[in-house]
Amino acid sequence: MKTISWWHSASGALLLAGCATTPAPVEQIKYFSQAFVAVNTVGQPLLDDLALSERALGRRNAVARAKKSPDDQPCSSNEAPWALSADPQLGYIDGYCLQHAGYFANIGDPPATAQLRGGLRVIERYAEVLTTLAEGRNVEQALGQVDALGQDVGALLALTGSDIAINAALTALKPLLANVAKQSNAEEARRLILDGAPTVDRLIAALRAAVPASFNTLTSGLRLSAGVAATAAASVKDIEARRIAVSQYVVLLDRLQSAWDATVLAVRAPGGARLSDLVARSAELRADADAVRRTLAALRSGVSSP
């Protein structure tokens, strides 16, 4: 069986079969990339807000744990209990817990936000790799993207202090990327899509499953304010505004999954999806992204969304 080199196509289209000239699902991959852009448009500002909320919650929890008995301390040797100052109304954590660094630092993301932002970045790089292969670009560029993606995966797997369940999908992705780096040809490109299908499914599902906990973190400070009569009305309004923004993010994650399903189907059954349908869905996706941008702008300005 003769293997056809993907970079040798005059049209720049990837030949995804070893013995048959199956056209690359270029338009499906483009739609997948567009779906990711829509998700990212919502995801990044939400993650910025989540980082602030997670950091504030982490600090409150650190103080609360320090005020409890030494047995409740998360640090080794219980070196960080609560200490009172000369003013009995003021106190501080007497020591330092390395586990708290992500909450007290003002750079980077705290642990859970870092994993979620990193999960989105992995999907983005994965789409970039597929686009490069599908459009028949430079081999070294494709392998460079695969290497960068592998580094992202490794960094995320090394993160600690977070309970976001994306590690299983990331672990499954690592050997897949290593094999692409060893042999970047048409069959490997096909395998990257087909063998990677369940892994991408799991990663998108993990990002979706993390939303309820993220919503609770996003609204943790607001729920405290809602318990105070003077700030209750404004806090309840802000909680519901964030519920709308988070819900739009979930809907767009579902659209991202649909776009990925279309890409996988295009490899398994070429010609199964009409390009005209993808064009219509792309227009709908752009309209959805615009609506979400308006909602986020209204949320951040404090004006109710129409």
The radius of gyration of the chain from alpha carbons, rounded to an integer in Å, stands at 23
Higher pLDDT, 47 or 177: 47
Query: Residue 130 belongs to what H/E stretch?
Result: helix 111-134
Confidence at residue 70, expressed as pLDDT on a 0 to 100 scale:
55
Confidence at residue 19, expressed as pLDDT on a 0 to 100 scale:
39
Average pLDDT over residues 191-201: 84
Whether the Cβ atoms of residue 269 and residue 262 lie closer than 8 Å to each other: no
pLDDT single digits (tens) 227-273: 999 999 999 999 998 898 899 899 989 988 988 888 888 778 766 55
- Report the residue count for the chain: 306
Residue 53, pLDDT above cutoff 60: yes
Q: Is the pTM of this model over 0.85?
A: no
Lowest mean pLDDT among 8-22, 165-179, 198-212: 8-22
Domain ranges of the chain: 6-64+109-300
Whether the Cβ atoms of residue 34 and residue 100 lie closer than 8 Å to each other: no
Measured distance between the N- and C-terminal CA atoms of the chain, rounded to whole angstroms = 60
Backbone angles phi, psi at 89, to 5 degrees: -85, -10
Percent of the chain clearing pLDDT 90 (strictly above): 17
With bands split at pLDDT 50, 70 and 90, how would you rate the model's confidence at 10? very low
Which one-letter amino acid corresponds to residue 265? L
